[in-house]
Amino acid sequence: MKRIDLCGDWKLISQNGESFNAAVPGCVHTDLFKLDDIFLNDNSKKYQYIENENWTYERKFSVEDLTENAFLVFDGLDTYCSIYLNGRKIGFVDNMFIPHSFCADGFLCSGENTIRVEFLSPVEYVKDKPPLPGAFTTERLHTRRIQFSYGWDWAERLVTCGIYKPCYIEFRNGMKTDSVYIVTKNIDEYSASIKISEYFSGFEKGGIVKTEVFDCNGVTVYSSDFYCGENLLVLNFDVANPMLWYPKGYGSQPLYTLKITGGDEVFNQKFGIRSVKILQLYDKEGSAAYEKCKRLQSARTQDFDLNTNYSGFTPVINGIKVFCTGANWVPCEIFPSAETNEKITSILETAAAAGINMIRVWGGGMFECEHFYNECDRLGIMVTQDFLMACGKYPEYDESFLKQITAEAEYAAVYLRNHPSLVWWTGDNENAVNGCDSMKDYDGRTVGHRAILPVLERLDYNREFLYSSPFGGNRYCSKTVGTTHNTFFLGDVFSYIEKGDLSDYRNEQKNYTARFIAEEPILGAIMPQSLNRFTEKQDDYNMWLWHTKTNPALGRELLDIMTEFAEKLLGKYCDWEDKYFKMRYIQYEWVRMSLQNARMNWDFCSGIIYWMLNDCWPAASGWSVIDYYGLPKAGYYAIKNNSMSVTGILDDDNAHAVIFYCIV
């Protein structure tokens, strides 16, 4: 299929007519300024004006052999923009998360062509929309673009626009494999039963489709030649002695290759053979797990746990119960076009080296690039994927909004469904914490039931869908059913820090045991090597505030809470160097005690996913265990030291007995 690449050199034009050299993929911020300058000290303040202005991208290109069925394709546009081809409007875009394709027949001409993309300010565009409640600034709730870039308690507000993924002209003549769906139906002592659904376009004239499957050693395990004159071909076959894909620490990660040949086109897809389920058995009344749930309900977070029946939440891969040690992923750059495969690989390999076997892709970010999921497949890192809503009341009453989410779900399901690393979907981040199954309405219910669930039942029926994160029980943030977010209970944690002497902090941590912890917060400062890259003065308090950020709901600066915590727990500060060391080490201790607590409670608790793995901009202190520059923080080493297959833990319980735990 013929393509004309439109990436490379473009012109960027401001709303007052100034012209600048630009690059596609890219965005206004990275075209005008260097990241190092934006991130230095508090320089980011100087670039806030960009979000309030309109910007235009323009370039010329040539078409030598013009044919029919030409399409102009943008893999990613951020966000509100009109597209013009040779002076005529070909389309309008209002969603960053999905690709956009426009028929260019009648717009293209032989020889020189001009393309122009006019971006509107994402802030000004929604200024007349009704206000909605949520965390941080909430104009973001009306716009289908990356949410954290409006400012979060770990990221600066840097709202940009631009052509942030590749774009091209595509001439669609002849057969094309649009997508495939590969399902492991069953694994038993005889074989793995596989179903492959192949979807085509441009195949109305009919022809032979050759399908081949190769194992990781290149050996053919299946081959067929089918005449196909329709847009769908379904194949069922068995693989003897299948090589199964396992998470890190439980086995290897062999990948098979599907090859489809039809006409002149060859389509390749990697996949893994594995089974996944979430074991959610009810606890028997009077059992140890049942009694532990009753005790947890009487702890600090009791207002959020109204369950009368309790159940576990244990991922089971290929029939084996898996303990999940993980972290939450946010985009590794605040401007998505700045992400590189090299940086993604470095972060994921660093995570895997610490024993991390699960990553939750958080709903305030984006669907990551293909390379991210390929690397998770390779490294044995399980992925749970949020749909892209976080911490707010979205306009679910608006049919156009529901259509947007439906389109995103359709794209994501087809895009990600063949990755063995993807183990379940999640509807959003924390929108539904006050909900439960029996409620007629709660934030996130409508979009989950009407926009996402029907799509997944149609396009990815083989995976579980959790309506929100956290999810399960009454309410959807309880500790005794489903998943919980201990980040949601930070008010209780910070109140304990402020009022207590912390002498019993190890026992306090046990109040936050849960069946599956999808977010466990872990504050800590970065290493001096990284700090020196964006500030000239290490002990500048105002710089620390600017590069730490905070949450308005706390009533205090996050930095002040952390420094108080470190001093109370680790002793009065002697000088700046002592303070800085303790601000780093506090994260190690928090991770150590929380991970040990989770592992001591295995099989009651089946996973702990830290908030968070990485940073998108240089935070001096914050939630990540790997900083923006890819350097591990203290908490990283606590994960590494306490996630080995056999770990010794000393626990001083209420009876002052010392217990040695061997966890395999």
pLDDT exceeds 60 at position 646:
yes
pLDDT of residue 648: 78
pLDDT band at 181 (very low <50, low <70, confident <90, very high): very high
pLDDT of residue 73: 98
**Residues whose CB falls within 8 Å of the CB of residue 126, separated by 6 or more in sequence, listed in order:** 139, 142, 143
pLDDT exceeds 60 at position 659:
no
- Interval 509-526: pLDDT, tens: 999 999 999 999 999 999
Residue type at 311 in one-letter notation = S
pLDDT of residue 301: 64
Average pLDDT for 262-275? 93
- Interval 425-449: pLDDT, tens: 999 999 999 999 999 999 999 999 9
pLDDT of residue 203: 79
pLDDT band at 263 (very low <50, low <70, confident <90, very high): confident
- Interval 473-484: pLDDT, tens: 999 999 999 999
Whether 321 and 313 have beta carbons less than 8 Å apart is answered as: no
For the chain, give the percent of residues with pLDDT over 90: 90
pLDDT exceeds 70 at position 656:
no
Average pLDDT for 226-244? 96
36 phi/psi in degrees, rounded to 5: -60, -35
Q: What mean pLDDT, rounded, does the chain reach?
A: 95
Tokens 């058995």 sit on residue? 281
Average pLDDT for 577-584? 98
Residue type at 118 in one-letter notation = E
pTM score over 0.95:
yes
pLDDT band at 653 (very low <50, low <70, confident <90, very high): low
pLDDT band at 657 (very low <50, low <70, confident <90, very high): very low
* 7-21, 238-252, 326-340, 646-660, range with the lowest pLDDT: 646-660
610 phi/psi in degrees, rounded to 5: -75, 145
pLDDT exceeds 60 at position 660:
no
Peptide bond into 632 cis (omega under 30): no
For the chain, give the percent of residues with pLDDT over 70: 97
In our burial notation (b when 16+ CB lie closer than 10 A, e otherwise), range 628-646 reads beeebbbbbbbbbebbeee
Question: Of residues 564 and 659, which shows the higher confidence score?
Answer: 564
- Interval 274-305: pLDDT, tens: 999 999 999 999 999 999 999 999 886 667 89
pLDDT exceeds 90 at position 329:
yes
Pairwise CA distance, residues 139 & 127, whole Å: 7
pLDDT of residue 296: 94
pLDDT of residue 75: 98
Residue among 300, 380, 369 nearest 339 (CA): 369
Residue among 504, 415, 421 nearest 455 (CA): 415
pLDDT of residue 1: 66
**Residues whose CB falls within 8 Å of the CB of residue 518, separated by 6 or more in sequence, listed in order:** 360, 384, 469, 470, 483, 484, 485, 607, 609
pLDDT exceeds 60 at position 334:
yes
In our burial notation (b when 16+ CB lie closer than 10 A, e otherwise), range 522-547 reads bbbbbeeebbebbbeeeeeeebbbbb
Question: Of residues 303 and 223, which shows the higher confidence score?
Answer: 223
**Dihedral angle at the C-alpha atoms of 382, 386, 391, 396, nearest 10 degrees?**
-160
- Interval 305-319: pLDDT, tens: 999 999 999 999 999
